């Protein structure tokens, strides 16, 4: 098993610590690496209709080489699979296969698959081991790390779920070449987020190296590794989001409200695009509250436009609901505490902070103004 050109990031959670391996060819090494953390376990591979035709044979061949038994559960690709109905169907298939508590669930796909599979692992037989093999940039830098799992409700995104950490993450950078430009750039929004939270030097590096990141190779691996290091540090300090981990939600409160508004229709908006627009809105709202100068929002807009991401609600196809409905979506979000609105705001690039008890009236006025643009 070659470790050349493979970077390792550890998520330090004591006895539940695990490694994130980042580099090309990791799916071909999956059997050997999984045997090291889950010897003798059977696997339920949860994947989707986009990933399976492209990469499933490579994964199963690697498992076969290591004499690991497996079954495959395939779900329809897309955000709409993160629902109660699909969750229940997957649970029944895992149980029908007679997988035991000591066996494993493999999440083999993007963020939707990872969130759903992790939730299944977290509740079946009161908790099964869970392995992340993320195949999208968004999943490799964000959703596969940190143990947040769950599904959506008509009331909002990710409102049903549990914290359940994986035992290992295998982020194979070579599979990212099969992503569409839209999906790759949507994942990149989460990479930029880490710079905008508290790593201004990383944001500047991203701005200078964007073309090399999109081209793949060492710059891409470095961007993923730095993103994972940033998230791993936050998760180790605040695993269940009682404090500083909330900073990782920069752009997400607005973004989730927009995803709910389009009924999770990926033709109109995918998660990373919602985050990109949400990060712009967070910087603009910070300026409106006199917390940051206008140049911060202008810098974010300029960078996201350069990489081909949307930066305003006007760029979402179709009609959006009125500001009152968007505010209602925000109040259903997990970032609400006892009815008060919590936002991640900023004092400038890389200077984000948690703002508690933001007046709903100011949010409503801001949304009305942005919708009118």
Alpha carbon distance 370, 373 (integer Å): 5
- The predicted-structure confidence for 185-216, as pLDDT tens digits, reads as follows 999 999 999 999 999 999 999 999 999 999 99
For the chain, the domains span 7-178, 181-371
Residue (of 115, 128, 130) closest to 161 by Cα position:
115
pLDDT of residue 334 exceeding 60, the answer is no
Q: Which residues are catalytic?
A: 126, 148, 190, 231, 241, 245, 249, 252, 256, 271
Domain topology for 7-178: Rossmann fold (3.40.50)
Summary mean pLDDT of the chain: 95
Alpha carbon distance 31, 222 (integer Å): 25
pLDDT of residue 2 exceeding 60, the answer is no
pLDDT of residue 113 exceeding 70, the answer is yes
- The predicted-structure confidence for 141-200, as pLDDT tens digits, reads as follows 999 999 999 999 988 889 999 999 999 999 999 999 999 999 999 999 999 999 999 999
Residue pair 264/180 in contact (Cβ under 8 Å)? The answer is: no
In DSSP notation, 341-366 reads EEEEEESSTT-EEEEEEE-HHHHHHH
Strands (E), the chain: 7-11, 18-23, 43-48, 70-75, 104-109, 129-134, 151-153, 156-160, 168-172, 336-337, 340-346, 352-358
Query: 41: which DSSP letter?
Result: -
pLDDT at 314: 97
Residue pair 184/220 in contact (Cβ under 8 Å)? The answer is: no
State both tokens at 305.
């436009």
Question: Could you tell me which CATH number the domain at 181-371 has?
Answer: 1.20.1090.10
pLDDT at 336: 63
Over its C-alpha atoms, the chain yields an Rg (Å, rounded) of 20
Q: Collapsing DSSP states into helix, strand and coil, what is residue 171? A: strand
Q: 10 pLDDT band (50/70/90 cuts)?
A: very high
Average pLDDT over residues 208-236: 95
- The predicted-structure confidence for 247-265, as pLDDT tens digits, reads as follows 999 999 999 999 999 999 9
The percent of residues in the chain predicted with pLDDT above 90, rounded, is 90
Burial degree of 163 (CB within 10 A; 0-12, 13-18, 19+): middle
Residue pair 120/43 in contact (Cβ under 8 Å)? The answer is: no
Q: 331 pLDDT band (50/70/90 cuts)?
A: confident
pLDDT at 335: 58
pLDDT of residue 129 exceeding 70, the answer is yes
- The predicted-structure confidence for 278-313, as pLDDT tens digits, reads as follows 999 999 999 999 999 999 999 999 999 999 999 999
State both tokens at 276.
């990109």
Residue pair 269/181 in contact (Cβ under 8 Å)? The answer is: no
Provide the β-strand partners of residue 70: 43
Residue pair 246/256 in contact (Cβ under 8 Å)? The answer is: no
pLDDT at 255: 96
pTM of the predicted structure, to 2 decimals:
0.93
Alpha carbon distance 87, 83 (integer Å): 6
């Amino acid at each position: 098993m070659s470790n050349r050109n493979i970077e390792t990031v550890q998520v330090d959670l004591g006895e539940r610590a695990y490694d994130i391996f980042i580099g090309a060819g990791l799916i071909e090494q999956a059997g050997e690496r999984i045997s090291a953390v889950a010897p003798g376990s059977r696997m339920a591979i949860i994947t989707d209709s986009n990933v399976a035709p492209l990469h499933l044979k490579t994964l199963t061949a690697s498992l076969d080489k290591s004499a690991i038994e497996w079954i495959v559960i395939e779900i329809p690709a897309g955000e709409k699979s993160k629902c109660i109905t699909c969750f229940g169907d997957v649970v029944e298939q895992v149980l029908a296969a007679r997988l035991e508590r000591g066996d494993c669930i493999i999440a083999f796909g993007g963020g939707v698959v990872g969130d759903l599979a992790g939730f299944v692992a977290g509740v079946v037989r009161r908790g099964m081991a869970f392995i992340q093999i993320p195949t999208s940039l968004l999943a490799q830098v964000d959703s596969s790390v940190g143990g947040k799992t769950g599904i959506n409700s008509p009331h909002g995104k990710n409102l049903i779920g549990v914290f359940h950490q994986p035992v290992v993450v295998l982020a194979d950078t070579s599979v990212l070449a099969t992503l569409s430009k839209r999906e790759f750039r949507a994942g990149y929004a989460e990479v930029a987020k880490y710079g905008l939270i508290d790593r201004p030097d990383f944001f500047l590096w991203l701005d200078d190296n964007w073309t090399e990141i999109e081209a793949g190779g060492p710059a891409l691996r470095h961007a993923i590794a730095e993103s994972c290091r940033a998230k791993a540090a936050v998760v180790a300090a605040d695993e269940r989001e009682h404090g500083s981990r909330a900073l990782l939600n920069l752009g997400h409160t607005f973004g989730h409200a927009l995803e709910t508004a389009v009924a999770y229709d990926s033709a109109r908006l995918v998660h990373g695009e919602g985050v990109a627009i949400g990060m712009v809105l967070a910087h603009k709202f910070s300026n409106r509250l006199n917390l940051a100068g206008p140049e911060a929002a202008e810098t974010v807009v300029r960078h996201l436009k350069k990489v081909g991401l949307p930066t305003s609600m006007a760029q979402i196809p179709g009609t959006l609901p009125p500001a009152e409905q968007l505010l209602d979506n925000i109040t259903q979000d997990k970032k609400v505490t006892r009815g008060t609105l919590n936002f991640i705001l900023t004092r400038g690039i890389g200077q984000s902070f948690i703002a508690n008890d933001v007046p709903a009236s100011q949010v409503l006025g801001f949304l009305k103004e942005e919708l009118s643009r």
